[in-house]
Structure 1
Amino acid sequence: MNLIAYGIVFKAPQARCLWYIIGIHREASVNHNIKTPLGLKDVNKLRSGDTVLLSGIIYTGRDALHKFLFEAKASARLPVDLKGSVVYHCGPIVVKEGDGWRVAAAGPTTSYRTSPYISDIVRRYGVKAFIGKGGLSAEASESLSKYGAVYLSAAGGCAQVLAESIVKVLDVYYYKEFGPPEAVWKLEVKDFPLLVTIDTHGKDMHREVSSLSASKVAKAIKSRE
C-alpha cells in the first residue's frame, strides 16, 4: 500500500521515497543510501534537495536531551558515544513487548526549539546529522555548515509509516530521568526515508521556501492595491 502525505510518496517496503516541497522539485537531486555512523565525507556529499534512505543506529532526542548535553561539563558522562551519530527529534510511542520494546509511532517533532543548543552539540559531541521537521534557526543552520553536519527532514503526520522503518529498539537511556517521550531511544533503522534540507555547503531549503513564500505574498498584496 502506498501512502501519500505532505507531498511524500512512501512505498512499502520503503525502497525509495519521492519528495516535492511547496512546489520546489530538484530535478538534479540525488538519491543516497547511507549507513551510520557518519563521517565528514558522508555528509559532505549530501546536498539540499537530495533524498536519503538511512540505515543503521539513530538516537531520539528532544528538548531534555539537548539541554542536558549543552549543560554537561564532559561528554564522558554520556552512556553512548555520539561521534558520527544521528539524533532524531522525536518522542516515539513505544510499547513494551515481553523483554523488549516495539515502536508503534515515531513522527518528528519541531526542531526549532533545539536551535540554541545545536552548535555546541555538534562541536563538542561530533553529531553528524539531525532529523526533524521545520528546520532550525539561521544561527543553528550556519553552525552545521561550519562544523560539518546536516539536517534531514522527516515527514510530519506519518508517524506510523516511519515506524515501519524501525527494525529494533536496542536500548533506552534516561528513561526515569526524562520520562518516556524525552528519553533517549537507541533505534536500529533500515531505509528510513528522509530529505536533505540543510547541507554542509550553506544551503538551507527552509530559508529558501520562506523567502519564496514572502516574495509571493508581497506580490499578491501588491496586485490587490
Structure 2
Amino acid sequence: MSTRVLIVDDHAMFRAGVRAELSAAPTVEVVAEAEDVDTAVAAIAAHHPEVVLLDVHLPGGGGAEVMRRIGPSATRFLALSVSDAAEDVIGTIRAGARGYVTKTITGPELADAIGRVAGGDAVFSPRLAGFVLDAFAGTIEVAAVDEDLDRLTEREREVMRLIARGYSYKEVAGELFISVKTVETHMSAVLRKLQLSSRHELTRWASDRRLL
C-alpha cells in the first residue's frame, strides 16, 4: 500500500521535479501540492496525507507555522529544504517535524525517507542528526540563536545565510529569484538589525552560531 504524500514548496518547478522523482516509487502516491502556508493547511484538511514534504521557508510564516496551525494529527511532517543550518533543523524539529532532509537527496532516498517517517521513524541526513543531538546535549544555545534570528524576516535569513557563505549579490539573486537591488536592500537590513558593519563580520557572526 502506498503512502499518501503532499508536497509543500513555493517553487513550482521544484514541486514538479519532486513529483516526477516520486512517480517512479510504487510505495508513494503524491495526492496534492501546495505553495504557501494557507494552501498547505487547506490541502492537508482536504486530502489527509500521511506525510507532508514541507519546505522550511514558505510565504505566510514558514513550515513551522503550517505545523502549528494543523496541531496534533495523524499526518507526519518531513522537512525537505535547501537549508542545512542548525537553527532551521532544530526549529523545525521543535515545531513537530519527524525528520529533516536536504534537497540534495535522491528520489529513491526520498521515497525511503517518506516510508520510514510514515512508519513512525525519525529521519535525518547524517550531518543534520548531529545538530539535533548537540541541541539536546546543550552545546548549541538554541534560545540565543532564536533571539538573534527573530529580528530578521524569512527572506532576510535566506539572504544572510547565502552572503555569509560567500555568495556574491548576483549569485544570491539567482538562487532566490529576486533582483540584485533587492538583495542589497535585504543585506542592509540584516547588517542594521544585527548591528554588524561588513560581510566579514556577518560571516564570523553566522559561523559562531553554527548557521553555515
**Same fold, TM-score > 0.5, yes or no:** no
Which structure has more helix as a fraction of its residues? 2
Q: TM-score w.r.t. structure 2 length?
A: 0.33
Q: TM-score w.r.t. structure 1 length?
A: 0.32
Higher RCO, Cα 8 Å, sep 6+: 1
